DNA sequence: CGCGACCTTGAAAACTATCAAATAATGTGG
DNA sequence: CCACATTATTTGATAGTTTTCAAGGTCGCG
């Protein structure tokens, strides 16, 4: 994408000085579990890019793997294109999360990543990271752990898609976002959906119309309030119940009895 | 290389002598892309276990991560238990495939693994593997690649579950098995399903009855012949078409017009 | 102000699950 | 080795959930 303009030293601009050590996300991101000294080495290879604007791509399918990316602020959506050109959303990535791990095996990105809002990114050249990992066992271990975590998350999500009703998927999605945002210091009760209904539907394997209906249904049931992009969670236990095994009842009846 | 340590010989039993070098799977498994000398080091930490009998567990949810496992022959099914105790099949693992990568992040297995038939396994103590990876960059890279590949595969599977019809899932499943078996030197046209219809259904997010019907439907359409556990693929192109975007037609009509 | 993208809502259709039952395999104990 | 109990698979009929199609509504932006 952009290689001509970037000299080895990319860290010297004032706005880019802030490093892992001062990053509020450092206990969610790579630095976790490596010593201060080692962190210095890591910081030297990490650079910041100009923030991405909404709808701007971080990488596209087929792009060579040049670096891994960590979201610093904002949201990134990853997606692939199916054989017939349709979009398939594979994930939404919040601050502290690492992007591009799926590109390592082929050396090229199998999917696209693009910003859902203005987004700030840390760039970690992969070859240098790998080199450093050989020298810093803690770093290697942390990378293994992060990849393992992603595999685990994917397995969990596969269960969601394979076994759960539309209601349960939606509830899980909202609770998941709430948790992840909470872990990053944002409110767990009230947040903005940076993605469109279409993206949510696509991600959850549902039709847009279904997602829309679920929002109204959840709202009628008193689980959440929805105001366009803004979500306010009013009943965590209720959502949990819906997200769990419970196939029906609670939410559905709340609407049916009302009508 | 300061590794003349007391080389814990675990390989000295006659039946266990065969090592990676002589393993027909070595270009599908960990050894891929590391030198002969390095391979010796790797072989020293790998041991073979007594073969698993059908239905025997390799590990269970919550078991501490002690080692990664590579399937040498046979098939292993991995599955988790949902909150309400139901089984959720997360994968079927053929010779040359690595098991347990999802346990690294927590240090404990989030899922269970058990043999679907008599199965031979290589055991790779994880801490030693990690240690070795620090010293052998090629090994580290290969591990990154294998984990990345799994993430990629999972993403692909998520698309299957989220976007594809029951027919497409089934066709993809059969083609996928065929390919993987073929890559391991088995026939691509004719193979045994080592898993039950129930397992297939569970894995694909379908009801058992649906799986059963799909088999008969595929057979009526001349795509495959099914004899209990034995599958013979007669029309790869047809299956491919069904597995792709094509939502209906070919297969369904083949049956409908017949009646 | 009006256009276009996004979202919501309703009605009908489609797909798949569920329920029920028959048949076929497998395993077990005598 | 057989008879019985058990489990797995198939098939049919019915019901439910979710999609699709169609249309109206809302928001943001030029």
pLDDT digits (tens, 9 = 90+) for B121-166: 999 999 999 999 999 999 999 999 999 999 999 999 999 999 999 9
Residue B18 is predicted with a pLDDT of 54
Distance CA B221, CA B237 (A): 13
Protein residues with beta carbon less than 7 Å from any atom of strand C: A 196-198, 208-209, 211-213, 215-216, 226, 228-229; B 165-167, 205-207, 209-210, 228, 247-248, 252
Q: pLDDT tier at B35 (50, 70, 90 boundaries)?
A: confident
Any residues with CB less than 8 A from the CB of B163 and at least 6 apart, and which?
A: A82, A86, A88, A205
Q: Is the pLDDT of residue A17 over 90?
A: no
Question: Structural domain boundaries of chain B?
Answer: 20-160, 165-256
**CATH 1.10.10.10 assigned to B165-256:** yes
* Residue in B with minimal Cα distance to A204: B162
Q: Which two tokens mark B77?
A: 């099914």
The dihedral built from the CA positions of residue B14, B15, B21 and B22, taken in this order, carries a sign that is positive
pLDDT digits (tens, 9 = 90+) for B95-112: 999 999 999 999 999 999
Q: pLDDT tier at B47 (50, 70, 90 boundaries)?
A: confident
Residue A18 is predicted with a pLDDT of 54
pLDDT digits (tens, 9 = 90+) for A171-182: 999 999 999 999
Burial (CB count <10 Å: 0-12, 13-18, 19+), residue B37: exposed
Q: Is the pLDDT of residue B39 over 90?
A: no
Q: Which residues pair with B78 in a beta bridge?
A: B91, B113
With a pLDDT cut of 70, the percent of chain A lying above it is: 87
Token pair 């003349």 in the structure block, residue: B4
Region B211-230: mean pLDDT is: 96
Q: Which has the closest alpha carbon to A174: A219, A233, A225?
A: A233
Domains B20-160 and B165-256 share a fold: no
pLDDT digits (tens, 9 = 90+) for B178-209: 999 999 999 999 999 999 999 999 999 999 99
CATH architecture of B20-160: Sandwich (2.60)
- Mean pLDDT (chain B, rounded): 86
* Residue in B with minimal Cα distance to A158: B158
Q: Residue with CA nearest C24 C1'?
A: B228
Q: Which residue has the higher pLDDT, A231 or B11?
A: A231
Protein-proximal nucleotides of chain C (any atom < 7 Å from a CB): 6-11, 14-20, 25-26
Distance CA B219, CA A233 (A): 50
Distance CA A220, CA A112 (A): 36
pLDDT digits (tens, 9 = 90+) for B78-88: 999 887 778 99
**Interface mutation vs chain A, best among B158, B207, B208, B246, most A CBs within 10 Å:** B158
Distance CA A114, CA A56 (A): 6
Residue A116 has a CB neighbour count (10 Å cut-off) of: 19
Q: Which has the closest alpha carbon to A179: A90, A55, A96?
A: A96
Q: Residue with CA nearest D21 C1'?
A: A209
Q: Is the pLDDT of residue A191 over 80?
A: yes
Helix then strand count (H, E) for chain A reads 8, 11
CA of B200 to C1' of D11 (A): 19
Q: Which residue has the higher pLDDT, A202 or B247?
A: A202
Distance CA B98, CA A47 (A): 34
pLDDT digits (tens, 9 = 90+) for A68-120: 999 999 999 999 988 777 899 999 999 999 999 999 999 999 999 999 999 99
pLDDT digits (tens, 9 = 90+) for A117-152: 999 999 999 999 999 999 999 999 999 999 999 999
Q: Which residue has the higher pLDDT, B47 or A190?
A: A190
């Amino acid at each position: 994408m952009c290689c001509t303009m970037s000299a080895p030293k990319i860290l010297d601009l004032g706005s880019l000085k802030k490093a892992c050590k001062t990053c509020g996300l450092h206990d969610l991101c790579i630095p976790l579990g490596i010593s201060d000294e080692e962190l210095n080495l890591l910081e030297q290879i990490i650079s910041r890019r100009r923030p991405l604007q909404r709808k701007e791509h971080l990488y596209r399918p087929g792009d060579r793997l040049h670096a891994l990316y960590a979201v610093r602020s904002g949201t990134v959506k990853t997606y692939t294109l199916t054989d017939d050109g349709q979009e398939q959303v594979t994930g939404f990535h919040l601050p502290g999360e690492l992007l591009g791990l799926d590109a390592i095996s082929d050396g090229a990105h199998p999917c696209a990543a693009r910003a859902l809002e203005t987004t700030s990114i840390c760039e970690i050249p992969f070859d240098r990271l790998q080199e450093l990992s050989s020298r810093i066992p803690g770093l290697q271990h942390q990378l293994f752990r992060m990849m393992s975590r992603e595999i685990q998350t994917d397995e969990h999500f596969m269960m969601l898609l394979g076994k759960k009703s539309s209601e349960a998927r939606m509830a899980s999605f909202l609770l998941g976002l709430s948790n992840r945002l909470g872990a990053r210091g944002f409110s767990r009760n009230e947040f903005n959906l940076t993605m469109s209904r279409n993206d949510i539907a696509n991600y959850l394997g549902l039709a847009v119309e279904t997602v829309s209906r679920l929002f109204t249904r959840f709202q009628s049931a008193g689980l959440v309030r929805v105001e366009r992009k803004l979500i306010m969670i009013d009943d965590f236990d209720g959502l949990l119940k819906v997200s769990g095994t419970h196939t029906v009842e609670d939410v559905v009846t709340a609407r049916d009895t009302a009508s």
